[in-house]
Structure 1
Amino acid sequence: MQPEPPARISLPLILFAIVAVVAVNLGALAAADAVLPFGRLADPDAYLRLDRVLELRLGGGWYDDVTMAVMAPEGLALHWTRPLDVLILLPARLLEWLGGLQPRQAIFLAGIFVSPVLHLLAAIAAAWAARGLWPGKAPWYAVLLMIATPTATLYCTAGRADHHALMLLTLALGLGAAIRALAPGGAAGAAAGAGLAFGAGIWVSPEVLLAAAPVLLTTGLAVIMAADGRALALQGLRMGLGIAAATVVAIVVERPPTGWLAVDYDRVSVHHLVLALLITAVFLVAARVGGWPRGRRLLVCGAAAGVAFAALLGLFPNALLASLGQADAASRSVMLPNVQEMQPLPPFASGGLGTTLSTIGGPPVIALVAVLLAAPGWRRDGRWPAGLAVAAMLVATLIAAFAARRFALDLAVPAAVAGAGMVGLLLAAPRPRGEVPRALLAAGLLFGLLGLPLLSLLGASPVAQVRLPERQAHAAGCDGTAMARWLGEARPGVIAGEKPPILMASNIFIGPEIAWRAPYRTVTGPYHRGGAAFADTLAAFEATDPLAARAVLHRREVSLLLFCAATPEIVVPPGSLAALLRDGEAPAWLRPVPLPEALSGFRLFAVQ
Structure 2
Amino acid sequence: MDVPLGDWLVTAYDRISILHVATALLLVAVFALALWLGGGTEGRRGVWRRLLLGLALSLAAVAVLGVVFPGFYRSTLATDDPVIQSLVSQVREMQPIRFWTRAGLSDLLIDIGGTLLALPFVPLVLWGAPDGATRRLAVVWTVTLLATLAAALAYLRFVVEFAAPGAIGVAGLMAVAAAALSAVRPVVRVAALLLVALLGTVGLPAIGLQLKASLDKAEGCDAADLSAYLRVTPPVSAPPGGPDPIVMLNNFNLTPRLAYETPFRFVAASYHRGAAAIRDAMVFFMATDDAAAQSILGRREVALVILCRSGMAPQPPEQPPGNLEGRLLSGEGVPAFLAQLPLPERLGRDFVAYTVKR
Alignment partners' CA distance in 1, 2:291 and 2:353: 20
Shift of 1:282: 1.9
1:591 to 337, 341, 346: 337
Secondary structure (helix, strand or coil) at the match of 1:254 reads: coil
Contact between 1:358 and 1:462, CA under 8 Å: does it hold in 2? no
Within 5 Å, give how 1:118-267 maps onto structure 2.
253-267=1-15
Structure 1 residue aligned with 2:151: 400
Partner in structure 1 of residue 25 of structure 2: 277
Question: Do the aligned partners of residues 382 and 462 (structure 1) sit closer, same or farther apart at CA in structure 2, a change above 3 Å counting?
Answer: farther
- CA deviation after TM superposition for structure 1 residue 404, in Å: 2.7
Label 1:396 to 1:442 Cα distance change in 2 as closer, same or farther (>3 A): farther
**Who is 1:346 aligned against?**
98
- Equivalent pair of 2:245/2:303 in contact (CA under 8 Å): no
1:541 aligns with 2:291: no
Contact 1:505 1:561 in 2 (8 A): no
* Number of the residue aligned with 2:236: 486
- Counterpart residue number, 1:570: 312
Question: Paired residues, what number?
Answer: 334
Equivalent in the alignment of 1:446: 196
- Is 1:312 the counterpart of 2:60 in the alignment? no
Q: 1:369/1:555 Cα in 2 relative to 1: closer, same or farther (>3 Å)?
A: closer
Q: Which amino acid aligns with 1:390?
A: W
How big is each residue's C-alpha offset from its partner over 1:398-444, in whole Å with a ceiling of 9 and x where there is no partner?
Answer: 22222233433443332222321234335546xx9x81299769938
Assess if the C-alpha contact under 8 Å between 1:358 and 1:453 holds in 2: yes
Secondary structure of 1:563's aligned partner: strand
Q: Which amino acid aligns with 2:138?
A: G
Paired residue for 1:581?
A: 328
Q: Deviations over 1:304-344 (max 9, x none)?
A: 322211111111223212344369432232x2344333322
Match of 2:316 in 1: none
Q: Once the two structures are aligned, what percentage of the paired residues are identical? A: 29
1:468 Cα deviation from its structure 2 partner: 5.9
- Contact 1:358 1:454 (8 Å CA) reproduced: yes
Q: Which amino acid aligns with 1:446?
A: V
Query: Given residue 78 of structure 2, which amino acid in structure 1 is its aligned partner?
Result: G
Larger RCO: 1 or 2 (CA < 8 Å, sep 6+):
1
* Alignment deviations for residues 487-518 of structure 1 (CA, whole Å, 9 cap, x no partner): 412999x9xxxxx999744354559959x968
Deviation digits for residues 264-297 of structure 1 (CA, Å, limit 9, x no counterpart): 2222222121112112222232123213556766
Q: Which amino acid aligns with 1:276?
A: A
Give the SS at the match of 2:63: helix
Amino acid at match of 2:278: F
Report SS of the residue matched to 1:603: strand
The CA deviation at 1:531 is 4.0
Q: Return the match for 1:359 from 100, 104, 111.
A: 111
Corresponding letter in the other structure for 1:580: R
Give the 3 Å change call, closer, same or farther, for CA 526–401 of structure 1 in structure 2.
Answer: same
For 1:168, the equivalent position in structure 2 comes to none
CA contact (8 A) 2:238 2:245 kept: no
SS at match of 2:239: helix
For normalisation by structure 2, the TM-score amounts to 0.70
- Superposed CA RMSD in Å reads 4.8
**What is the CA–CA distance in structure 2 between the aligned matches of 1:301 and 1:464, rounded to whole Å?**
47
The question of whether the paired residues in 2 share the 8 Å contact of 1:355 and 1:459 is answered with no
In structure 2, C-alpha distance between the alignment counterparts of 1:402 and 1:325, rounded to whole Å: 21
In structure 1, C-alpha distance between the alignment counterparts of 2:164 and 2:286, rounded to whole Å: 43
Structure 1: gaps of 5 or more residues: 1-252, 495-499
**What letter is aligned with 2:327?**
L
Alignment of 1:427-446 (within 5 A): 427-428=178-179, 435-436=183-184, 443=192, 446=196
Change in Cα spacing, 1:256 to 1:481, as seen in structure 2 (3 Å) is: farther
Take 2:96 and 2:179, find their aligned partners in 1: how far apart are those partners? 38
Tell me which residue corresponds to 1:24.
none
- 2: CA distance between counterparts of 1:398 and 1:527? 23
Change (3 A) 1:400 1:524: same
CA distance in 2, matches of 1:467, 1:480: 19
Q: Is the 8 A contact 1:368 1:419 kept in 2?
A: no
Helix, strand or coil for the counterpart of 1:383? helix
Check whether the contact 1:319–1:325 (CA below 8 A) recurs between aligned residues: yes
For 2:159, what is the secondary structure of its paired residue?
Answer: helix
CA 1:380–1:565 in 2, change beyond 3 Å: closer, same or farther?
closer
Contact map agreement 2:93 2:156 (CA 8 A) in 1: yes
Instruction: Give the TM-score of the pair, scaled to structure 1.
Output: 0.44
Distance in 1, matches of 2:145 and 2:255, equals: 35
Which residues of 2 match residues 361-510 of structure 1 at below 5 A?
361=113, 363-380=114-131, 382-428=133-179, 435-436=183-184, 443=192, 446=196, 450=200, 451-453=203-205, 456=208, 459-460=211-212, 469-474=222-227, 479=230, 483=234, 486-489=236-239, 504-508=248-252
Distance 1:356 1:314, change over 3 A: same
Letter in structure 1 aligned against 2:305: F
- SS for the counterpart of 2:103 is coil
